[in-house]
Amino acid sequence: MHALRTFIRAIKLSICLATALTAIAARAAEAPVRWKFKEGETLNYVLERGVEGKLNLTGSEIAFKMGMAFDIAWKAKSVAPDGTAALELTIERMQINMASPLGGNVAYDSTKPEAAAGVMWAQMEPMVTGMLNQTFRLKVTPLGKVSDIELPQKLSDVFLKQQQSPNRQAGFGVGGSAFSEKGIKELIEKSVLPLPEAAPAKDVSWVQHFDNQIRGAGNQMTDTTYTFDGTESLDGKQLAKIAAKTEMTFEPAENPMADVEITSQNGTGTFLFDTQAGHLIKATGVQTFFLEMTGARDLTQDMKETMSMRVGKSPAAEAK
């Protein structure tokens, strides 16, 4: 009889425990998703970006391809009572691979002693050395709102020198240049997933907006709409899954020097967020578009951009 009573109590305890765990899980699912930072902690991320496409300028076609990988350490220097963190981002490693008939090829890994060479590298080297092992400062709220981005002084000096150069040329391209002050700040902002006020639900959506003024043409706008897409298991942990859809539009300037039209496009992304730890685990995205520009010279761009970001570090370089 004693054994029977013990068995019954064990069953009741199991039922109560299961009920409590279910209630906790339900409350967690209903809780808003937030970035959470702890003073002094460091998160390591690998950010990769690839661009490949074809540029047709007055009948001459130019194919190009570029891949970049950044190993970045995010250190929380301080956290305000409202959860806003003062972060220091340090690029600890850079890898670049480029192929273009105009500028030649570039193969660079900051962990290797071999130096890159070529015309393209000569133009890129000051920018790379201005970023590598340098500290970027910014603030991030629990909703992923980025503000107060400060570039390293060494990089700011590079941009100042470029602006003062009499041979400075304005580039053209949708989305901005990766190696421009605006492009770098935009890349930093995009690496911090924005989050909504509301708790996860299928009908919850929110938008992130960027503007890029293209001199003589107009304003290129990018709107990314995010929605909750359930959960996904990764390494035995259930993560919040967020889907993204990106749309680009173009607003021409008054009396533009060139007319621009984005004739086709498709942009999608997926983000996996650890709601308990309060940080991003993994992200992937692909953007394709075809652009036509008519003016003094006709130009078309057929582009594909890829992005990925994950917790961790890049594999060590293979020894030769």
CATH number for the domain whose boundaries are 33-311: 2.30.230
C-alpha 277/C-alpha 91 separation (Å) is: 23
List the chain domain ranges.
33-311
pLDDT of 176 over the 50 cut: no
Strands 146-150 and 218-234: unpaired
Q: Which helix or strand (DSSP H or E) is residue 146 part of?
A: strand 146-150
pLDDT at 210 over 90: yes
The pLDDT-based confidence of 235 (bands split at 50, 70, 90) is very high
For residue 30, name the pLDDT band (cuts at 50, 70, 90). Answer: low
Cα(171)–Cα(10) distance, integer angstroms: 72
Q: Which residue did the predictor score with more confidence, 260 or 177?
A: 260
Q: pLDDT value at position 283?
A: 98
Mean pLDDT of 35-46: 98
Q: Give the tens place of pLDDT for each residue, 90-124.
A: 999 999 999 888 777 899 999 998 878 888 888 88
Per-residue pLDDT tens over the stretch 252-303: 988 888 888 999 999 999 999 999 999 999 999 999 999 998 887 788 999 9
* Per-residue pLDDT, 319: 62
Inter-residue contact 309 to 50 (CB < 8 Å): no
* Interval 144-160: pLDDT, tens: 999 999 999 999 999 88
